[in-house]
Amino acid sequence: MFDKLGERLKNIARNLSGKGRLSASQVKESMRDIRRALLEADVNLNVAQDFVSEVENEAVARKIYDSFTPAETIIQIVGEKLIGLIGKAEPLVLDKQPSSILLVGLQGSGKTTTAIKLGIFLKSKGKNPFLIPADVKRPAAFEQLRDMAERENLPYFSERLDNEVKLCKQALSRSVLKRYDTLIFDTAGRLHIDIEMLKQIKQIKETVNPSEILLVADSMTGQDAVNIAQEFENALGITGIILTKMDGDARGGAALSMRKVTGKPIKFIGIGEKVDALEVLHPERLASRILGMGDLKTLQEKAEKAVEKEEVEKFQKKIQEGKLDLEDFLGQIKQLKRIGPLDALLDMFPGGKGLKKMMDEKQMVRTEAIIQSMTPKERQNPSILDSSRRKRIASGSGTSVQDINRLLKEFKMAQKLLKQMKGRGGPAALSSFFR
């Protein structure tokens, strides 16, 4: 997904780069190109228009005409606006005892699959979910949910009733008895939105008083997706969206328009047919996927928020003076670990994989042991670590000389990486991806 859009946006940046200062008409032209790229990706017309004018305003506000790196600035703004468009990741609201989640959506959008995926997700978070097949009309609906739930060892409501309201009521009382804390209702889908379907779901809504009504929307739907979402929103008042089939080769416009048009957050994305293919939405990750690069700027902003300001300054000074030593390094890895969902963050910058490995819990313990076995002098100046010192440290820390060599190599790489992040800043660093 997003391959084409990403390609187009990169081309726009490539055309601009190396141009030095931009004329008003060059900026206008690139805005037109961005707009066209979005429309071709099936982004909703109004959304695309607003997007471009926001980018343009921001470009002017940031004095793009005087800038020496206008292409980088524009792409940076596009990246930020994309993140804004996708919207913040908002967690599930589970505020009742038990809490109910209603999954609604058109036929084949992925409700049943998502019900199972959600069940697995919630279980992994320590919840005790209960699946309810609330589609009593389609003959095979019950069997599909049952088979998948049994395979995944998830409890489900197995009684067969021909009235969904009755069924939901009984499922509710069963859940109290069995102490299930999160109920997932898989409702019936139709090819098109029709009054009968909405009436049914409304009745279920009144019966179970759900904490969440999540629209399960197929991201392959194209331009029509936002209209469908709007109709569900108007009729039911949805609380969030799950976009399925994000692994497909659709153009991705639905994913980019949904939040803006409905005002409702995208909470999860489905990225495959397998039951573990559900991800919490990461707006930054998605945006960098579209632009096809590691977004150093976001990384930096996030990092700076999490780490105490004073420490950041101290650290920056050391980097600038080229005085980063192993002691700081250990502290820094520990702080990086605190920042948040590191996987997503580290994927955002080139060379992040190496650091990710180092932040593995076991690896950290080893790293700490090695560094603690060094003398202060060695920590400040690792270049004095000859083979006899390395041997001593290895036996002192219960590791091997290879472990120490690896640590020093990774330390060097991290030093380089951190220097790049600081020295070249966001825009300049981004520019290297377009050459």
Ligand X SMILES: Nc1nc2c(ncn2[C@@H]2O[C@H](COP(=O)(O)OP(=O)(O)OP(=O)(O)O)[C@@H](O)[C@H]2O)c(=O)[nH]1
Distance in Å, CB of 289 to Mg ion, minimum:
28
| CB half-sphere exposure, 58, CA atoms < 13 A | 16
* Binders of ligand X in range 274-293 (CB under 6 A): 277
Q: Indicate which of Mg ion, ligand X, none lies near residue 425 (CB less than 5 to 8 Å, by partner kind).
A: none
Six-digit token string for 68: 């020496």
**Is residue 327 at the binding interface for ligand X, with CB under 6 A as the rule?**
no
Q: Residue 263, SS3?
A: coil
Q: Which does 109 bind (CB under 5 to 8 A by kind): Mg ion, ligand X, none?
A: ligand X
For the bound state, the minimum distance from the C-beta of residue 103 to ligand X, rounded and expressed in Å, comes to 8
Beta-ladder partners of 69 = none
240-244 sheet: strands from edge to edge: 129-133, 182-186, 99-104, 212-218, 240-244, 266-270, 278-280
CB of 140 to Mg ion, least distance (A): 9
> How many residues sit in the footprint of ligand X (CB under 6 A)?
20
Span 199-258, contacts to ligand X by CB under 6 A: 244-245, 247-248
> Using the rule CB under 6 A, is 271 a contact of ligand X?
yes
What does 273 bind: ligand X, Mg ion, none (CB cut-off 5 to 8 Å by kind)? ligand X
Judge whether 187 and 213 are in contact, CB under 8 Å: no
Nearer to Mg ion, 146 or 424 (CB): 146
Binding residue for ligand X (CB under 6 A) from 70, 79, 105, 133?
A: 105
Task: Check residue 152 for interaction with ligand X (CB under 6 A).
Answer: no
Q: Which stretch binds ligand X (CB under 6 A): 45-53, 105-113, 337-345, 375-383?
A: 105-113
Between CA 147 and CA 112 the distance in angstroms is 11
Is there binding between residue 189 and ligand X (CB under 6 A)?
A: yes
Find out whether 402 and 348 touch, Cβ atoms under 8 Å: no
* Among 19-27, 100-108, 198-206, 289-297, the segment contacting ligand X (CB under 6 A): 100-108
Establish if 127 lies at the interface with ligand X (CB under 6 A): no
Closest residue to ligand X using C-beta atoms:
189
Residue 277 contact partner, candidates ligand X, Mg ion, none, CB within 5 to 8 A by sort of partner: ligand X
Q: Which of Mg ion, ligand X, none lies near 344, with the C-beta cut-off 5 to 8 A by kind?
A: none
CB of 111 to ligand X, least distance (A): 3
Strand, helix or coil for residue 60: helix
Beta bridge partners of 268: 242, 280
Residue 171: CB minimum distance to Mg ion, A: 16
Please give the helix or strand (H or E) that residue 314 lies within, else none: helix 309-320
- Answer for the pair 169, 207: CB distance below 8 angstroms, yes or no: yes
- Taking CB positions, which residue lies at the least distance from Mg ion? 112
Strands (E), 189-251: 212-218, 240-244
Contact letters for Mg ion, residues 234-253 (x by CB under 5 A): --------------------
Burial of 219 (0-12, 13-18, 19+ CB in 10 A): buried
**Strand ranges (DSSP E) for 161-320?**
182-186, 212-218, 240-244, 266-270, 278-280
**Long-range contacts formed by 407-410: CB under 8 A, 24+ apart:** 407/367, 407/370, 407/371, 408/382, 410/354, 410/355, 410/357, 410/358
CB contact at 8 A, 259 and 51: no
Binder of residue 370, out of ligand X, Mg ion, none (CB less than 5 to 8 A by kind)? none
End-to-end, the C-alpha distance of the chain in Å comes to: 24
Q: Contacting ligand X (CB under 6 A), which of 6, 133, 270, 283?
A: 270
CB of 367 to ligand X, least distance (A): 38
CB atoms inside a 10 Å sphere around CB 193: 15
| Window of 42-50, 65-73, 251-259, 269-277 that interacts with ligand X by CB under 6 A | 269-277
Considering the complex, state which of residue 111 and residue 267 has its C-beta at the smaller distance from ligand X: 111
Which one among 87, 110, 129, 426 touches ligand X, defined by CB under 6 A?
A: 110
**CB-based contacts of 358: which residues, under 8 Å, 6+ apart?**
333, 364, 367, 410, 414
Quick note: the x/- pattern for Mg ion over 95-114, rule CB under 5 A, is: ----------------xx--
Give the binding site for ligand X (CB under 6 A). Answer: 105, 107-113, 135, 141, 189, 244-245, 247-248, 270-273, 277
Give the binding site for Mg ion (CB under 5 A). Answer: 111-112
